[in-house]
A and B are shown apart, each in its own frame.
Chain A
Amino acid sequence: MITFIRPRLRRPLGIALAGTVFAVAWALRGGDAWQLSVAMEVTVLVSAIITYVRAGEDNDDGALAGSRADERQKLLSLRSRALGWNFAMVAAFIGLTVGVAVKATWWWPFLVIFAVAGFGQLLGWSTYTTADEDPADDASPQHEARSPAS
């Protein structure tokens, strides 16, 4: 379905959609939270417009925002996200350690982050790893190594 959406619109629409869902969650909270929900929706829409404008620029950031990145730009994005995830892991580890040390009740969300990260990494391994378990072809009987003298 996403291929029917113009590349330049994909990321702004994703931001608008995710932001709107989050704003609705705040609205459902009830009470005065609707004011925060409205402010959040405005911020999200402004962010989506800014992303759309950025997507038109002739630079790496614009290519990523406009969903037209080439292999180098995708690699840049991947490495940046990996670095961000490493930071998040360190922060989660510190949070978990401090939470346990002070007998806090809020330690478990940090453990959830670790669990999700671990599951994601296992999924990544199973999806992207090459078939390293396959035997090397020179280990099979047809390719048995022989001495040149034999």
Chain B
Amino acid sequence: MRNRVREQRTQREMSQAELAAALGVSRQTVISIEGGRYLPSLPLAFTIARFFGLTVDKMFDPDEEAGT
């Protein structure tokens, strides 16, 4: 599943640590989500989407492989 976390974060010129603090998760988890190695829970997916002002389906695309 592809996601736009890295894209949205870099657009806002945020570091992974800053995003992690804003979401209430660890920096390692942000790295794992960006790399597509970890699929967040539904509540965390909503938190991420809301943080970037997007809907969950805009943030996470199930039809695309991570890294494509």
**Residues of chain A having any CB pair with chain B under 8 Å:** 58-60, 63, 69-73
Contact = CB atoms under 8 A, between A and B. Distances in A.
Interface size class of B (residues with CB under 8 A): 10 to 19
From DSSP, what is the main secondary structure of chain A's interface residues? helix
A60 B32 CA distance: 11
From DSSP, what is the main secondary structure of chain B's interface residues? loop
Contacts of A63: 26, 28
Contact of B27 (A58, A69, A71): A58
5 contacts: A58-B27, A63-B26, A71-B40, A72-B29, A73-B26
A33 to B, nearest CB: 43
Nearest to A72: B29
Contacts of A71: 25, 29, 40-41, 44
B62 interface: no
B25 A72 contact: yes
B30 to A, nearest CB: 10
Interface string B37-55: 0101100100000000000
Contacts of B26: 60, 63, 69-70, 72-73
Q: Which 6 A-B pairs have the closest CB atoms?
A: A70-B25, A72-B29, A72-B38, A70-B26, A70-B29, A71-B41
Contacts of B24: 70
A120 to B, nearest CB: 25
Nearest to A69: B26
Nearest to A59: B28
B28 A60 contact: yes
A73 to B, nearest CB: 6
A73 B26 CA distance: 9
Nearest to B17: A58
A80 to B, nearest CB: 15
B29 A73 contact: yes
Nearest to B27: A58
B42 to A, nearest CB: 11
